[in-house]
Structure 1
Amino acid sequence: MSTGKINVSVENIFPLIKKFLYSDHEIFLRELVSNATDATLKLKHLTSIGEAKVEYGNPIIEVKIDKEGKKLHIIDQGLGMTSEEVEKYINQVAFSGAEEFLEKYKDSAKDSGIIGHFGLGFYSAFMVAEKVEIITKSFKDEPAAHWTCDGSPEFTLVPADKTTRGSEIILHIAEDSLEFLEEHKIKELLTKYNKFMPVSIKFGTKTDTLPKPEDAPEDYKAETIEVDNIINNPNPAWTKLPADLKEEDYKQFYHELYPMQFEEPLFNIHLNVDYPFNLTGILYFPKMSSDLQMQKDKIQLYQNQVYVTDNVEGIVPEFLGMLKGVIDSPDIPLNVSRSGLQADSNVKKISNYITRKVADKMKSLFNDNREDFEKKWNDIKIVLEYGMLSEPKFYEKAGDFVLYPSVNDKYYTLAELKENLAANQTDKNGKLVVLYASNKEAQHSYIDIAKGKGYEVLLLDSPIVSHLIQKLEGDNENLTFVRVDSDHVDKLIDKEDTQISKLSEDEQGNLKTVVEEFVPKANYSVQLEPMDSAAAPFMITQPEFMRRMKEMSQSGGGGGMFGMGNFPEMYNLVVNSNSELATTILQTEDKTAQESLIKQALDLAKISQGLLKGEELTAFVKRSFELIK
């Protein structure tokens, strides 16, 4: 028997581990299962290169609960340790056996999948245990060892009678951590952190039914047996080559990741790179809602198949945080508890690679099957538009596949849009005017007028469209976007006016004066336009600049995106001077009757823009009933 002191630099290392080193106590199980996996994979590598003269077999890791004895067991069939190795790797805190192994076998062990990095993972056991035992036997022909420590720097190390290779870690669970003796809790943690570990993990048993023999009698009763309950998938889809997977495999893995997600993903992107860093993974485009926040934290980050976090900020570009899937990389620098990222140049390289890969995939999907891409556009546009705003590298490539749909369900790229508008929608300065609607139903009458004049109207209805328009205009000096219910289109587009006012200049002046008399000057600028007599007599538009600034201010939240506060409600009241109502107003001598006509027409125009509310709406309804009577 030997005794000694664990080689630590401070006496209070265990309270430090328990309280400060690891932010979340539950990760102790992840660390211990990761260590067991390392031990198994190391043995696999040594047997493959002939250094370990043993049969590798089909080893598993077993997790067992002894509720009565208040113990939790983690058992592996890996390479085990000699007494000397226990002294070296366990008693010298922060000496990483995995790192030493990788250094020794760096040429041949590159792809062996060793997980450990820090040498502190084992000591996370003391976050939940008042005493920890290790019973271990090396694959070498040497005696087994039994190490015990009660959470102080004191330990004992004695020979053990274990005859099979591997290690068993026994945690004597502390009174304040008895939840980790509950089956549902351990299963939850194993499913969360170790669901895709590269070695099979057994937790309990399950009942399995034997197949019915061919010559079984009619009254045959199926036999059942108890079998190991393997709770993980050691070979998840992202560890395989894309060429080895079918579309059905990707969908199956999606539902394995998200068992409660019943909708199929729209498409996937398989990531696979080994230079200048190692990274694999699968990203899925689900159907998107317009709520940007609700979609986040759906991508899972793994390190050598060990779950780390679903907070992938920094690794995955922000706009792709709304996707789902898995990213796995041994090159992601994590802090000592693996719960957060460390600043590192590789992180930015990984982010740039993912951005480029997604852009390439979008272009490929667009080129291979444009019709299918167009059908899915409304479900993916929020991600791609957000990417154009937030990632310059993505914006550079976006022109090849980002679409701009019309209200008639035609889809244009930006280049196609420019070509389509060139002949018919140019302003007096030679700029192309892109008319768009943000709400097809609410702006129906304005869309109808524009279409009647032969103009193309786009449907741009995402919540970030005002910001996207600003960027597109900034990068295309001969392009301007105007919402269809903004300034009257005939003023914006250099098209020969086919309508001539039926009123003389004096009559037009008198009409403008009369209307202004009964319309609030603080909110409305009265404008006369000669339009088709069948067009609406009164229309409300909003100056494009004012409307856009108001939208930008509101979308920024708080005091406005640029700190501009609230904008005044300013509108144009466009009066159709060729309408019968305009003539009637002019010919009516009774001021009260004139006022009633003008207010009724103004309220109808307000209704079409959703501006009539509260007392004004109540007064309008009463006035309308009076007119009916």
Structure 2
Amino acid sequence: MTVEAKKETLGFQTEVKHLLHLMIHSLYSNKEIFLRELISNASDAADKLRFEALANDSLYEGDSELKIRVAFDEAKKTITITDNGIGMTREEVQDHIGTIAKSGTKQFFEKLTGDQAKDSELIGQFGVGFYSAFIVADKVTLTTRKAGVSHEEGVRWESAGEGDYSIETVDKAGRGTEIVLHLKEGEDEFLNGWKLRSIIKKFSDHISLPIIMDKEIPAEKDEEGNETAPARVEDETVNSASALWTKNKDNISAEEYNEFYKHVAHDFQDPLVHVHSKVEGTNEYTLLLYVPGRAPFDLWDRDAKHGVKLYIKKVFITDDAEQLMPRYLRFVRGIIDTDSLPLNVSREILQQSKQISNIKAGSVKKVLGMLEDLAENDAEKYQQFWEQFGNVIKEGPIEDHKNKDRVAKLLRFSSTHTDDKTQNVSLADYVSRMKEGQDKIYFVTADSFAAAKNSPHLEVFRKKGIEVLLLCDRIDEWLVSSLTEFDDKHMQSIAKGELDLDKFDTEEEKQHQEEINKDFESVLKQIQDVLKDKVSEVKVSHRLTDSPACLVTGAYDMSLNMERIMKEAGQSMNMMGMGGSKPIFEINPDHAIVQALKNEQDDARFADISHILFDQAILSEGGQLDDPSAFVHKLNGLLQGLLK
């Protein structure tokens, strides 16, 4: 079949142009990494070919010796990186190089500050390995052919890294990819065999494929100076070419661990912590897993598959991370290599494999153990971890019932103990500070830290010196619906049901409450008549000391904050048969406004004040009024009366 040799010149996606500019200017001080990134991509291409060839050996095209070659040409001022991996089709070249079709791209660019040091960290986090070539090159030529297709279906891509690129169909005999970097002026330091070898040893020694360079062997001469053998060039393997995870961990340096992480995670920063372990028994496997120092840009992309790579007998099988790590640990990067499965195992069998389930369970335990150790022995590092991944870990008790208690110990929150926005209070910390006789862990949920910290529901707890957890992340509502107790202590929302704080009341306080309840019976009924179907009940509050009123939900009803979240997501509470119940309206009998309401003789003013107090209670919960103009109208009417 003859393939039409069509050549096109196409414009880069706007984001790519922006990224190239940032890449060149922000990463220039660490320009050596271009070689690491291109070698890492070549290694991935070889891994993919190995996997595809398990089912179709013909993809090797008679050449199963996978390798990466690095060469340079001083005269042409070029560096060439070649692999005989899986290669790409024309469509794949355009998808992977012409555009950045990644969820979270917009948010990534919004985070950029213009500060080169900070932006370089973000760029590394984005995972833009190929584009790093333009740090040292003013033109890049990529020639590739997908394994298994005709030699006439090769593809050449070329760009100066500015506004556009060309792509054409070419004839390419061998499968795989060749990248030629045409170096910029002033980059001649890389046209040196010693320099390239030292970069490879530094950054890519752990790559399990041989990385080949030419080694010049000088001519051999006899004692009289006569040439007995001509000068020649031989292949030299520059790296150790053995899988790092197979080595004894006592023989692996911190730098080697870090460089392997950067390879496997396509990250520019060092990891926060890692675990390297060999598990023996019925299921034998080795794992080398890392926690990144910074959250990847696509942490909240539920379709993202990369994370932990599965190898069988050092042959890459899949990076479909959900089979190896639960969603709440999706930030974990690294490899798991097992000898317990056949090489030709299919993805479908993997999904149903009991061995894979056991490996996943064992790996989760190792990761949780690593985090427990970090929390216990390095509070500063753990706080760094929590700030990056805390909201993801909070998904753990929801989806991993088996490890719920272990994950619960890793959780961190803000609380009234410090009133600090920083989430650094563990549930164990809270329990250790509980008052004598206290048997519940109290919390309040809100849509912001300020709303939680200033919630009127906290007033009685502050008065009695009882600590309350301040939960203001959206995930917290789902978390507390799954995590109902800790250390045999029930988790109790202070905005739901009865508080059961009688044990902390003095006899004088109890007597005062009884008297107030009787004194306000008629007022409660009158407010109920005014608010009608807006509330399920009107009660005298034992929660409030400063605010005039608040809203409370029933012990088994959906919280008001959760209702708001669901409504914002377009869910109708009543249609779902959940939530949507009317709140309880509680009034503070000791507040001056409520005292004035009790003595109000004008029914219209009584009604206006009741509505204003109800609407204020909604606002103090962070809610929105159904009719803001009516609230303003009533409030203005009362203010005008005061000004007369």
The amino acid across from 1:456 in the alignment is E
Equivalent position of 1:198 in the other structure? 208
Match status 1:547 vs 2:558:
yes
What pairs with 1:75-94 in structure 2 (closer than 5 Å)?
none
Equivalent position of 1:495 in the other structure? 504
Q: Is the 8 A contact 2:441 2:492 kept in 1?
A: yes
* Deviation, structure 1 residue 535: 1.0
Matches of 1:27 and 1:195 in 2, distance apart? 30
Match of 1:364 among 367, 370, 373: 373
Helix, strand or coil at the partner of 1:363: helix
Matches of 1:537 and 1:183 in 2, distance apart? 82
Match status 1:128 vs 2:148:
yes
What pairs with 1:215-230 in structure 2 (closer than 5 Å)?
none
Match status 1:266 vs 2:272:
yes
Equivalent position of 1:329 in the other structure? 338
Match of 1:567 among 560, 569, 579: 579
For structure 1, which runs of at least 5 residues remain unmatched after alignment?
A: 1-21, 41-59, 67-124, 131-171, 209-225, 426-430
Q: Is the 8 A contact 1:296 1:323 kept in 2?
A: no
Match of 1:577 among 578, 584, 589: 589
Equivalent position of 2:611 in the other structure? 599
* Deviation, structure 1 residue 199: 3.4
Report sequence identity in percent: 19
What pairs with 1:116-265 in structure 2 (closer than 5 Å)?
128-129=148-149, 172=151, 186-187=176-177, 198-201=208-211, 234-235=241-242, 237-259=244-266, 261-262=267-268, 264-265=270-271
Equivalent position of 1:94 in the other structure? none
Q: Is the 8 A contact 2:206 2:241 kept in 1?
A: yes
Question: Alpha carbon RMSD of aligned pairs, Å?
Answer: 5.2
Match status 1:511 vs 2:523:
yes
* Deviation, structure 1 residue 29: 9.7
- Give a deviation string over 1:135-163, Cα, whole Å, max 9, x none: xxxxxxxxxxxxxxxxxxxxxxxxxxxxx
Matches of 1:266 and 1:392 in 2, distance apart? 27
Q: Is the 8 A contact 1:435 1:457 kept in 2?
A: yes
- Give a deviation string over 1:366-395, Cα, whole Å, max 9, x none: 332245424533434345444444445534
TM-score, normalising length: structure 2:
0.57
Match status 1:617 vs 2:611:
no
* Deviation, structure 1 residue 457: 1.0
For structure 2, which runs of at least 5 residues remain unmatched after alignment?
A: 1-49, 69-80, 88-144, 157-167, 180-203, 217-232
Q: Figure out how many residues of one structure are paired with residues of the other and give that number.
A: 457
Counterparts in 2 of 1:280 and 1:316: CA distance versus 1, 3 Å? same
Q: Is the 8 A contact 2:443 2:494 kept in 1?
A: yes
What pairs with 1:407-446 in structure 2 (closer than 5 Å)?
407=416, 408=418, 411=424, 413-423=426-436, 425=438, 431-438=439-446, 439-446=448-455
Helix, strand or coil at the partner of 1:527: strand
Match status 1:452 vs 2:463:
yes
The amino acid across from 1:485 in the alignment is A
Counterparts in 2 of 1:25 and 1:65: CA distance versus 1, 3 Å? closer
Match status 1:479 vs 2:468:
no
- Give a deviation string over 1:200-252, Cα, whole Å, max 9, x none: 255xx89x9xxxxxxxxxxxxxxxxx998999983454343332334443333
Match status 1:282 vs 2:272:
no
Matches of 2:558 and 2:277 in 1, distance apart? 42
Counterparts in 2 of 1:271 and 1:567: CA distance versus 1, 3 Å? same
- Give a deviation string over 1:38-87, Cα, whole Å, max 9, x none: 899xxxxxxxxxxxxxxxxxxx9974999xxxxxxxxxxxxxxxxxxxxx
Larger radius of gyration: 1
- Give a deviation string over 1:225-280, Cα, whole Å, max 9, x none: x9989999834543433323344433333323344x45553322223335444433
TM-score, normalising length: structure 1:
0.58
Q: Is the 8 A contact 2:86 2:175 kept in 1?
A: no
Q: Is the 8 A contact 1:487 1:544 kept in 2?
A: yes
Matches of 2:372 and 2:491 in 1, distance apart? 25
The amino acid across from 1:36 in the alignment is S
- Give a deviation string over 1:497-522, Cα, whole Å, max 9, x none: 56435976664122112211221335
Q: Is the 8 A contact 2:397 2:403 kept in 1?
A: yes
* Deviation, structure 1 residue 435: 2.8
- Give a deviation string over 1:89-148, Cα, whole Å, max 9, x none: xxxxxxxxxxxxxxxxxxxxxxxxxxxxxxxxxxxx997346xxxxxxxxxxxxxxxxxx
Helix, strand or coil at the partner of 2:323: coil
Counterparts in 2 of 1:586 and 1:316: CA distance versus 1, 3 Å? closer
Match of 2:325 among 294, 298, 316: 316
* Deviation, structure 1 residue 466: 4.5
The amino acid across from 1:272 in the alignment is K
The amino acid across from 1:254 in the alignment is Y
Q: Is the 8 A contact 2:272 2:290 kept in 1?
A: yes
* Deviation, structure 1 residue 537: 0.9
Counterparts in 2 of 1:273 and 1:173: CA distance versus 1, 3 Å? farther
* Deviation, structure 1 residue 583: 1.8
Matches of 1:173 and 1:25 in 2, distance apart? 21
- Give a deviation string over 1:525-563, Cα, whole Å, max 9, x none: 21113677x6111112222320259959988999899x9
The amino acid across from 2:491 in the alignment is F
* Deviation, structure 1 residue 311: 0.5
Matches of 1:399 and 1:379 in 2, distance apart? 17
Q: Larger helix proportion, structure 1 or 2?
A: 2
Matches of 1:64 and 1:465 in 2, distance apart? 46
Matches of 2:282 and 2:170 in 1, distance apart? 41
Counterparts in 2 of 1:195 and 1:528: CA distance versus 1, 3 Å? same
Equivalent position of 1:36 in the other structure? 64
Equivalent position of 1:14 in the other structure? none
Equivalent position of 2:46 in the other structure? none
